[in-house]
Structure formats: C-alpha cells, structure tokens
C-alpha cells in the first residue's frame, strides 16, 4: 500500500500524469479502514494537482469594464423620477435614497440576525453625487412617499433628519419641462416607457428607462430616432449588464472554451402570487387618490379598477407580459455575452394555465428564437406556477456553461477539443473544468421567492473586489458616469432596440399564432 501511494504522489510525479482513472485504481486497493487516510491524501495532495490541471484547461481572467470614470466631485446631476411603485422604490434606493421605513426594517433584521449584512452593505454603497429635484406618480400616496424618500439624503430611518424635499409634479410632462432637472429615471408601467422617454429626449434630458424599452413596435423606432438626434445618454434598465459572472461567460465564449454553440436554454420559474404579478392593493387607493385617466394614457379605456392599476402586468392593455418583463432579462444577458442581435425568426406558444384571475397575458410561455447565421437556437421557457430551478445554459460541442450569479463549465463527453484529456482521465465530464463564484461574506436576506429568483440570476447583487454590490446601483452609476463623460453606457439605445424588437417578435408570434421574421434590410418585422 505504501508503494502504491508513493507511486501517485504529486511530488514524485508530473501533475499531468495524475488522472481520475489512476485514483480509482488506487482507491480499489485501499482497505476499508484506510478510507479516511485516502480522503486526507486526496484533499491535501491531489486536489491541488487537479486545480493546476484545470487552470491549464480554462483560464478566465476578465474583469468588469468601467465605461466611464467615476466622478464624485463637481456639480451634482439633478434627477427626476417618474413612477414610485415597486421598481421605482428599488431604483431610488439604488441611487442612494432609501425609504426611511426600509432602513428601519434593515436595522431590525440585522439586530435579529447578525449574519444578515444587508444594512451594512447598503450603507457602504457609493454616493453618486446626485440630487432628486422632482418626483411624479399618478397615485398621490406614492408621490408623497417618493418626495420623502428623495429627501433622505443621509440614508436614515424614520426618526432621522431629512433633507429638502423635491417638488411633486402632477404630470410627467410638467416634470420634464422643469429647468432644474438634467436627467430622468422612468419606472412607469410598460405602456408609458417609450412615450415618456421620447418626450424626455426631445427636451434634452438624459434617460434611465426600466425595461422593456417599449410597448409597441412603432414607438420603438421613434425612440431610437429621437435619442440619436438629441444625443442624450440613454440606459435601459437591464442591471444584469453589471453581473460579474456574465463577464467571465463572455470571455469563455470569446476563447472558444465551449466550442461551437448551437443551443441556448433559459427560463423563468416562479411559484408565488407576487411572482405572478398579483401585487398587494394599497388600502388608501381609490378614485380620489389615483389619476386614472393619466394612468390609462394611450391604452384602451377601461373603467377604474384597483386590480388593473396595481396588477397592470397581467393585462396586454398596459403590459408586455412575460415577453417584456422576464424574457428580456434572459435575452439581454445572452446578447451581452454572445452579441446575438435580433433573431431571424421567432415562434411562440403558451397560455393562462394556472392564474384564472381575469388576466390576458400567459402564465406559461415558450419562445424559440432562431439565429441561422450563428447556427444556433435560443429557447425560453417559463411558468409562474412552479419553482423548479432550470437555470441558464449555453450548450456547445465541447462544453456547456451554466450561468447564474455564479458560473460553471463542464466538458461534453463527446467533445473533440477535450477528447484526449477525457480519455486520459484528466477531465471528468461530470466535474466542472471551471467554476467561478464571487466571494460572499455573511448571509443574504431575501424576503420572497421572487427576490430569490432574481438573486439566483445575478440581478440583485454582484461582487466588486470581493464586496457585495447592488447591480442596479452599478447600472445607475454607469449611466451617471457616462453622462459626465459624454459617452454611451452598456445598455444603450442600440442594445435597447435589439431587446425591444426581439421581445415584440415573440409577442407578435404568440398573438398571431405564427412564426414571424425579421427583415434586416428593411428593418421590419414580417
């Protein structure tokens, strides 16, 4: 037994000669009582050799790129925000202005569980040198809350000292006309995204707009035209652009680690009412506190409805459904990683199979985007009534890559590129040839299944220099830095156009029950 162990000890052998086959042979000769000795040997000698071998197979070193320098001195950028619902609160918080009640909750959560570092992480978030000078929401209660939140310049709780409150505007046009607003954050329902962004751009205001970029196809073209004519800095709210694991994934594709990619599978799996857009109805909401006519805007008229106001994502009248809400996150991630562009064709199917609550958008959806010039298909599958995790997978001839807030690459058993290493036992297709998990300290406190869903996709937090950072904060920071530097951000109007057209193609295919095509020469969906 002694001779057998020394035969395989890395110090006596070239590490390349150590294979899993060798280890299995050695293990077969180990008596049962010697299993613990073998485990110690493997951990302290063999693992380091394998790690060295794997580094020789895959070596990814890319780091997130700053598109513009961070400038914290000088005159603050004056920002207005339109919409203070769920996402509006999150965006203002990411910009450095938390609701005082939210701070109270974080302090309480930390007191109850010292491992919960959410409060500490937030208080360490970088100051962005901005002022919130205007807020607007058609629900007067939200407008008041937005003004209070924007005055929380010191990030204090409900008993803290607030700063000067911004002006509350009755309409978004009044806000956009204000001379003391340089840039605007748009967090309205989907059917208002493009109209508000267009009017902001016409007035020379820089725009951070929540996804999706548009509700209809014609307004998508108009928005692109105005943004480019006016030269404003436009950022679409796909905060996944800041996710560290996506940077590594992009490098792996560029280095041909996966070989020829032919299939991408992404999904949405959520299983709670909140994840299916059945949001709470505010007790103070009524026709006197909600400007219903302004909410409807260009959408088809419908009599006042609290369900439609708070759960607008459930109706095509105001929403883009799963296509615009969640498919776009997955598409944009892959567009970032692989530069997919607009698909040549899209087919879609689905239905309302679980939430029989009067909604018109599906709660189960399947979309297939074809990219024949890239020799690959993009498959999206979603259900809002099952939490089974399916992940995000890029499949290549030589390896597959699973992407979330971490990254795992495994060789394909039939790989050409890794054939010799697999046959020699250097690579085991069941074991990752590369994995990347940004360092985590402390415990994450996610309150809902929906938050856990977004966290698993790197859409809540990422890491910079080992520290946990809110991806939305980084995305807003990038937008502001680009405004100061006069350059365009990562999810600029061109990326937004790709996202918008791709999402509209999937919606059109679903509603018309046919495959639709993109005429690249005429820039039209046919």
What local confidence, expressed as pLDDT, does residue 218 receive? 97
Give me the residue label for tokens 């580094």.
55
- β pairing state of 261-269 and 376-383: parallel
Residue-wise pLDDT for 485-504, tens only, equals 999 999 999 999 999 999 99
pLDDT at 24: 44
pTM, rounded to two decimals: 0.87
Hey, which bits of 113-270 come out as E strands? 130-136, 167-169, 183-186, 206-210, 234-237, 261-269
Three-state secondary structure of 106-120: HHHHHHHCCCECHHH
Contact of 18 with 49, CB cutoff 8 Å: yes
Instruction: Identify the CA nearest to 185 among candidates 78, 290, 291, 99.
Output: 78
Question: What pLDDT, in 10s, does the model give residues 273-303?
Answer: 999 999 999 999 999 999 999 999 999 999 9
Output the DSSP codes for 355-384: --SS--S-SEEEEEEEEGGGTEEEEEEEES
The answer to whether the CB of 265 falls within 8 A of the CB of 395 is yes
Backbone phi, psi, residue 469, to 5°: -135, 145
Residue 1: what pLDDT?
Answer: 38
Distance between CA atoms of residues 108 and 88, nearest Å: 23
Q: Does 440 have pLDDT greater than 70?
A: no
Please give the structure tokens belonging to residue 491.
């999810």
How far apart are alpha carbons 371 and 377 in whole angstroms? 6
**∠ Cα 85 90 92 (to 5°):** 95
Q: Assign residue 278 a region (left: φ > 0; alpha: ψ between -120 and 50; beta: otherwise).
A: beta
pLDDT tens-digit profile of 91-104?
999 999 999 999 99
Average pLDDT over residues 81-85: 98
What integer pLDDT is reported at residue 334 of this predicted model?
A: 97
- Provide the pLDDT for residue 511: 98
- pLDDT score of 458: 56
Read off the pLDDT band of 65 (50, 70, 90). Answer: confident
What is the CA angle 84-90-92, rounded to 5?
70
Identify the pLDDT of residue 378. Answer: 98
Q: Residue 456: which pLDDT band, with cuts at 50, 70 and 90?
A: low
What is the rounded CA–CA span in Å between residue 73 and residue 484? 11
Sheet holding 206-210, edge to edge: 167-169, 130-136, 77-82, 183-186, 206-210, 234-237
pLDDT over 60 (residue 16): no
The pLDDT of residue 398: 98
423 secondary structure, DSSP code: H
Q: What mean pLDDT is predicted for residues 446-454?
A: 48
Cβ neighbours of residue 74 closer than 8 Å, sequence gap 6 or more: 129, 484
Confidence of residue 370 (pLDDT cuts 50, 70, 90): very high
Nearest alpha-carbon partner for 476 in 235, 291, 157, 205: 235
- pLDDT at residue 184 in the model: 98
Tell me the pLDDT of the chain averaged across its residues: 88
What is the arithmetic mean of pLDDT over 359-384?
98
Quickly state the pLDDT bin for 519 (edges 50, 70, 90). very high
> Whole-angstrom Cα distance, residue 85 to residue 188?
8
Residues 341-370 have a mean pLDDT of: 98
Q: Which two tokens stand for residue 444?
A: 């994450």
pLDDT band at residue 459 under the 50/70/90 scheme = low
**What is the average per-residue pLDDT within 244-261?**
95
Instruction: Give the pLDDT of residue 304.
Output: 98
**Domains of the chain (ranges, CATH numbers):** 2-57 (no CATH), 77-241 (3.40.50.720), 243-272+314-461+489-512 (3.30.360.10)
Q: Collapsing DSSP states into helix, strand and coil, what is residue 472? A: helix
d(CA 419, CA 398): 9
What phi and psi values does residue 437 have, to the nearest 5 degrees?
-130, 110
Rounded to a whole number, what is the largest CA-CA distance in the chain? 87
Task: Grade residue 348 by pLDDT with cuts at 50, 70 and 90.
Answer: very high
Residue-wise pLDDT for 99-141, tens only, equals 999 999 999 999 999 989 899 999 999 999 999 999 999 999 9
pLDDT, position 188: 98
Beta strands in 389-487 (DSSP E): 392-396, 399-403, 407-411, 434-436, 461-464, 467-470
- 190 sits in the region (left: phi over 0; alpha: psi -120 to 50; else beta) called alpha
- In the predicted structure, residue 155 carries a pLDDT above the cut 70: yes
Q: What is the pLDDT of residue 368?
A: 98
- Name the percent of the chain in helix, strand, coil, to the closest 5: 40, 20, 40
- pLDDT tier for residue 69 given thresholds of 50, 70 and 90: confident
Q: Is the pLDDT of residue 30 over 70?
A: no
**Quick one: what percent of the chain has pLDDT higher than 90?**
77
Q: Which residue has the tokens 């998990």?
A: 437
- Whole-number Cα distances in Å, 190 to 311, 325, 346: 12, 9, 22
Q: Above pLDDT 70, what percent of the chain?
A: 85
Residue 37 above 80 pLDDT? no
Structure letter (DSSP) for residue 17: G
Q: What is the pLDDT of residue 50?
A: 54
Task: Indicate whether 386 pLDDT > 70.
Answer: yes
Mean pLDDT calculated for residue range 448-456 = 50
Q: Alpha-carbon distance 193 to 313, whole Å? A: 13
């Amino acid at each position: 037994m002694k001779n057998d162990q020394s035969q395989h000890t890395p110090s006596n052998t070239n590490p390349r000669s150590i294979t899993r086959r060798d280890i299995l042979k050695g293990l077969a000769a180990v008596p049962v009582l010697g299993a613990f000795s073998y485990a110690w040997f493997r951990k302290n000698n063999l693992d380091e050799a394998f790690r060295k071998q794997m580094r020789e197979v895959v070596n990814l070193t890319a780091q997130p790129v700053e598109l513009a320098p961070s400038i914290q001195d000088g005159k603050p950028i004056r920002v207005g925000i339109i919409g203070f619902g769920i996402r509006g609160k999150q965006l203002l918080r990411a910009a450095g202005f938390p609701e005082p009640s939210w701070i109270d909750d974080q302090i309480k959560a930390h007191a109850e569980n010292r491992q919960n570092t959410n409060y500490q992480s937030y208080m360490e978030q970088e100051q962005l040198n901005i002022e919130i000078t205007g807020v607007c929401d058609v629900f007067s209660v939200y407008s008041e809350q937005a003004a209070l939140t924007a005055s929380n310049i010191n990030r204090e709780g409900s008993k803290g000292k607030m700063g000067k409150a911004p002006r509350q505007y009755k309409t978004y046009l009044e806000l956009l006309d204000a001379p003391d607003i340089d840039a605007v954050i748009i967090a309205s329902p989907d059917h208002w995204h493009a109209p508000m962004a267009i009017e902001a751009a016409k007035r020379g205001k820089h725009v951070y707009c929540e996804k999706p970029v548009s509700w209809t196809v014609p307004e998508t073209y108009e928005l692109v035209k105005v943004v480019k004519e006016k030269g404003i800095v436009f950022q679409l709210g796909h905060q996944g652009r800041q996710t560290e694991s996506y940077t590594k994934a992009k490098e792996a594709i560029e280095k041909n680690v996966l070989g020829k990619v032919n299939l991408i599978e992404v999904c949405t799996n959520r299983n709670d009412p909140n994840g299916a857009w059945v949001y709470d109805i505010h007790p103070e909401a009524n026709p006197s506190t909600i400007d219903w006519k302004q909410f409807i805007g260009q959408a088809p008229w419908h009599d006042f409805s609290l369900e439609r106001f708070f759960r607008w994502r459930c109706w095509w009248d105001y929403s883009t459904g799963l296509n615009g809400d969640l498919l776009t996150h997955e598409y944009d991630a892959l567009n970032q990683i692989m530069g997919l562009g607009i698909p040549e064709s899209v087919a879609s199917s689905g239905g309302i199979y679980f939430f029989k609550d009067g909604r018109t958008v599906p709660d189960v959806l399947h979309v297939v985007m074809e990219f024949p010039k890239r020799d690959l298909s993009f498959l999206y599958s979603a259900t809002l009534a099952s939490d089974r995790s399916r992940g995000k997978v890029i499949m290549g001839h030589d390896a597959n890559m699973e992407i979330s807030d971490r990254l795992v690459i495994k060789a394909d058993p039939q790989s050409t590129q890794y054939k010799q290493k697999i046959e020699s036992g250097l690579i085991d297709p069941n074991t990752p040839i590369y994995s990347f998990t940004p360092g985590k300290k402390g415990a994450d406190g996610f309150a809902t299944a929906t938050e856990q869903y977004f966290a698993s996709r790197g859409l809540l937090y990422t890491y910079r220099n080992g520290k946990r950072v809110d991806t939305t904060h980084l995305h807003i920071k990038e937008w502001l830095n680009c405004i100061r530097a006069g350059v365009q951000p990562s999810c600029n109007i061109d990326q937004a156009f790709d996202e918008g057209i791709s999402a509209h193609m999937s919606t059109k295919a679903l509603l018309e029950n046919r495959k639709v095509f993109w005429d690249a020469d005429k820039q039209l969906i046919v």
